[in-house]
Amino acid sequence: MIMSTAFDFALLFISTCSAFYCWTLSRRLHALQNLRKGVGQAMVNLTKSVSSVEANAAKLNREALAAVSELRIMLSKVDASEEKVDILLETMERQARETWKEYKAKTGEATERLDAAYKSLTDGLTEARDLTKLIEEKSKEIKAPAAPPAPQPVLRPQPEVQPQPQLKAQDYEAAADIAPVRETEAPRQRPAVRRPQISGDREMTAREVALARALAAQRAKEAAVRKAAQQDDLANYTPEAPAMPPRDDAVASFARRLRQKQGQASLKQAPLDRGRQAKA
Ramachandran sector of residue 200 (left: φ over 0; alpha: ψ -120 to 50; beta: rest): left
pLDDT, tens digit (0-9, with 9 covering 90-100), for 102-159: 888 888 888 888 888 888 888 888 888 888 888 888 777 776 554 555 555 444 545 4
Chain centre to alpha carbon of residue 261: 38
Q: Which runs of consecutive H residues, i.e. helices, occur in the chain?
A: 2-33, 39-143, 169-178, 206-231, 249-279
Q: What is the pTM of this model?
A: 0.26
CB 202 within 8 Å of CB 165? yes
pLDDT at 233: 52
Closest among 254, 16, 198, 228 to 115, alpha carbons compared: 228
pLDDT at 237: 45
pLDDT at 154: 47
Other C-beta atoms closer than 10 Å to the C-beta of 119 total 11
CB 212 within 8 Å of CB 174? no
Other C-beta atoms closer than 10 Å to the C-beta of 222 total 19
pLDDT at 234: 47
pLDDT at 63: 93
pLDDT at 36: 64
DSSP 156: S
CB 178 within 8 Å of CB 209? yes
Task: Tell me if residue 198 falls in helix, strand or coil.
Answer: strand
pLDDT at 127: 83
Closest among 179, 184, 202 to 256, alpha carbons compared: 179
Q: Which positions of the chain have pLDDT values less than 50?
A: 146, 153-155, 157, 159, 161-165, 167-168, 172, 176, 178-203, 234-248
pLDDT at 26: 84
